[in-house]
């Protein structure tokens, strides 16, 4: 394993890369092989000028100690590169993969499935705030709160995400009732339950009693969302055909 060191030249060297002279007392870099490699394999130390390592612009600043290097020099001249942790959101790549193979929805863990639902809501034009640090944290029956970015009549949407690994397992009425109770007790104007499977007839019946307030979205809807299909006739299916504004008078809505 080589050791890459910073040092000041004690003698006149030539850069192993470009052949330029490295004068005495000049800052440069030493590419030092492991001592066993030097002894048994004859690998020699390589002297590298600062231009080859840092580039011409930064090399001039490095010679006068004005350049902050992306590493630290130890007392022995060895370069220490601090560890770097970078968080990368892979949800967009995951959504593209799921759009090609939506059956993989069942293989996601609950937290990742929730990430996908949040991503699709944001793609629809919602600002979304997650509730709780994970799916397994107590959240009062709500996994996310969403509100439209640009509509002139803002509203708050409470979202409950239900994931199951079994395609045959349907979501019953209990989560729908639970979310409906939250809507009545809190300041939400609408609610949505999203699952990667489907809902039982009892769950759909309960949601249909309050169609303007409660929406159910299942596997078929998720497949549309993954294809960026949001504003089609499917989203209008919960809107009633007519509204009774007072006793004996109803307004018919266009289909």
Q: Which residues belong to CATH 3.30.1740 in the chain?
A: 3-80
Kindly tell me if the per-residue pLDDT of 33 is higher than 50. Answer: yes
Out of 1.10.10, 1.20.950, 3.40.50, 3.30.1740, the CATH code matching 3-80 is 3.30.1740
pLDDT band at 41 (very low <50, low <70, confident <90, very high): confident
pLDDT in tens, 208-246: 887 668 889 999 999 999 998 887 555 555 555 565 656
The distance of Cα 238 from the centroid of its chain, to the nearest Å, equals 31
Out of 3.40.1350.10, 3.40.50.2300, 3.30.420.40, 3.40.50.1380, the CATH code matching 91-252 is 3.40.1350.10
Q: What percent of the chain has pLDDT over 90?
A: 29
pLDDT band at 42 (very low <50, low <70, confident <90, very high): confident
pTM comes to 0.60
**What is the mean predicted confidence (pLDDT) over 58-79?**
64
pLDDT band at 34 (very low <50, low <70, confident <90, very high): confident
């Amino acid at each position: 394993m080589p050791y890459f060191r910073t040092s000041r030249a004690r003698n006149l060297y030539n850069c192993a890369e470009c052949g330029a002279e490295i004068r005495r007392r000049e800052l440069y870099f030493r590419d030092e092989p492991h001592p066993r490699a030097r002894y048994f394999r004859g690998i020699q130390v390589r002297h590298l000028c600062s231009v080859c390592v840092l580039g011409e612009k930064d090399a001039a600043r490095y010679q006068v100690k004005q350049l902050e290097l992306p590493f630290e020099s130890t007392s022995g001249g060895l370069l220490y590169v601090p560890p770097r942790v970078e968080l990368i959101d892979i949800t967009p790549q995951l959504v593209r993969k799921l759009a090609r193979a939506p059956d993989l929805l069942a293989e996601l863990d609950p937290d990742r499935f929730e990430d996908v639902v949040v991503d699709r809501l944001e793609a629809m034009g919602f600002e979304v705030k997650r509730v709780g640090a994970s799916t397994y944290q107590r959240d009062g029956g709500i996994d996310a709160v969403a509100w439209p970015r640009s509509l002139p009549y803002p509203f708050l949407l409470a979202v409950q995400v239900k994931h199951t690994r079994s395609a045959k397992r349907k979501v019953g009425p209990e989560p729908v009732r639970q979310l409906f109770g939250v809507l009545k007790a809190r300041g939400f104007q609408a609610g949505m339950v999203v699952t990667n499977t489907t809902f039982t007839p009892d769950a759909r019946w309960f949601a249909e009693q309050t169609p303007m307030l409660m929406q159910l979205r299942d596997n078929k809807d998720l497949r549309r969302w993954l294809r960026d299909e949001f504003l089609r006739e499917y989203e209008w299916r919960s809107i009633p055909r007519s509204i009774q504004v007072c006793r004996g008078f109803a307004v018919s809505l266009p289909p």
